[in-house]
Structure 1
Amino acid sequence: MTERYANRRSALFEELPESVGTVYVAPSETLRYLSGLSMHQSERPTLLVLSRAEGPAVVLPELETDRVADVLGDDVPFYTYGDATDPTQAAREAFERLADGRELSGDAAVEYRSTRVLEYNLLTDHHDPESIQDLEPAAAALRARKDESERESMRKAARITDHVLQETFEEIEVGWSERDVERAIEKRVIDSDADTYSGGIVTVGERTAFPHANTGHTEIERGDLVMIDFGVRVDGYFSDITRTVAVGDPGEECRQIYEVVREAARAGREAVAEGVQYQELDRAAREVVDDAGYGDYFPHRLGHGLGLEGHEPPYLVDGNEATLDVGNAFTVEPGVYVDGVGGVRVEDDVLLTEDGAEVLTETPRELRIL
């Protein structure tokens, strides 16, 4: 394992209570963050085992050893198991071999959100379930502080997203369906330097009033709003942007809604500063929407953390008294959604650097009429 990941693992224990002596990490983005290892969850349990007293070890399927060794190196002990009718029982036997050879001291920590019962049950013969703590607060605190390498990956992802979106705008026309728009985006992402298309939502006309609808087959008519929400991944790191455009004149009410949302987004971005509570960003944007009379039509938080996941802590929502720190990356995405009329969302990716707020996404925010 490289020094970068070793430093992250050491920092993780500094974030955890002293009582936690052993950490178990199932396949997840936190596993990738702490080791560089990217694995999907399957019927075969896998655990990275970290300890204050000893170096890392891995419980894993035998057929994964070559791939995992390529990332973790040969100095990390593997406790492997072969395929069996019951892979969970085979994994338990491998875990018992690990427990026989290592001191599983202190309380344990696992990430509640990513650890399945399959992995969790491996631990309970050696740790009192009452003493097993949630790893996520400590892992999230580390992951929220992006280093320069992570920042560069996110900048590149944002640049690609902007370019794809601008080119797609030039192609959209009356008669295109929501799926046509998304397909055009996907094709451009494939031809870009992004690792993958990370998914998206395209809605048209009155369906823009649904904040999180599935992309469908509704066709664009003259005067329709078109809401496009998508991102890409670069080196594992996400971008996430939303722009709402019009194909022809959308009418006075939609224009009014658009300007309210654009101003709310500006207020949210301008509130970004080190030491400011996350809830204050939400409040700054929401005040604009409330004052315009659309408060009941802004049903979601202002934004979410961004990094190895498209949605990760911290969350920009009322009640989150945590404060912004250098290295934090997140979205600012107010929206107003009026049934029978339409909706508008404007979303940007923001990074807090030593020099202040850096808005990564640069696609113009003024209403664009195609």
Structure 2
Amino acid sequence: MRLILIGFGNVGKALLRSLIDKRNPLNRLGLRPRIVAVLDRGGGAVDPDGLDPAELLRTDEREGTVAAAPEVGQFGLSPLTAIKEVEAEIVLELTTTNPDTGEPGISHVEAALRNGRHVITTNKGPPALAMRTLQNLAELNNVEFRFSGTVGGGTPILEFVKQIAKVDILSLKAILNGTTNYILTQMYDFEASIEEALKKAQRLGYAEKDPSLDIYGIDSALKLTIISNYALDQEIALNEIHVTGINDVTLEEVRRYKRKGQKLKLVCSIDKEATVSPQPIEASQPICVDGSLNSVQLETRYTGKVTLIGPGAGGYPTASAIINDLLALEGKEQGAKRVLTTEMAGIRVN
């Protein structure tokens, strides 16, 4: 299994470290990936015989780009060139989400599918803004377009919702952004200001240097779009979701709800309409998770409320979703489930 990796940020690095650390158990499950190209903003590194993940990590830490890798590095190499010219079965598109146009992620995915490559992405832009087009293109070229890591990190939220959606769903309510959930938890537990909580989230790697997509609710809206279009099979566009972030949430507001036994959370919901907004939730409710956890609660006509809880922020949980997709492409679905339940402690269903 030859891989091209596009985007070498937190998730890409976590994936390489995971492949190094879990090489033996993954080999036993039949997963023997050979990374033949890695692309970042400086260029890329290419080796048809397989790149050394540990050496790539060292080069990036030392030089700031894998393009500086001795012998295999190529400054200025573009992702589209690598997709067309480097032989591989799978392209991992791990670049940063652009909520306005989905680019350059959509172009990367389209090029890979047209060239007969399977695609796994953690970039929310392509599935949120062009899901049907990309799914049709994948089908036309007899390859797969997979994106389980775009929602919930290592928690299989898309698979959970799609399975439950086979019965009559009345409503969906979810906490889908680990960054804002961590911030609101810090405000509730320690009476930190939103600025203090954000700085701590950034130090711990839960928040990006530019957290605007999280804070303003756009990240949550992208995820809700993906859930609706893929798992619920309900067509909805990103601009049809009513979005309010946590940017105007005050400590006094958090305190006020705390006195009522409630916690303020950034809640995604699909009922009569799709919304993202800060809402008070009774602290005793299963969906009311803390820290960087995610949760999704489905209410169905026949089974009542069912809730899934698990980690939703950080490079390693998202890397586990990529590995899950790789195993699925290898036809190792049962092995994928074992990796998820073993590695992602804390996932539970209520």
Q: Shorter-chain TM-score category? A: 0.3 to 0.5
RCO (CA 8 Å, sep 6+): is it higher in 1 or 2? 2
**Which of the pair is proportionally richer in helix?**
2
TM-score (norm 2): 0.36
Which is higher, the Rg of structure 1 or of structure 2? 1
TM-score (norm 1): 0.34
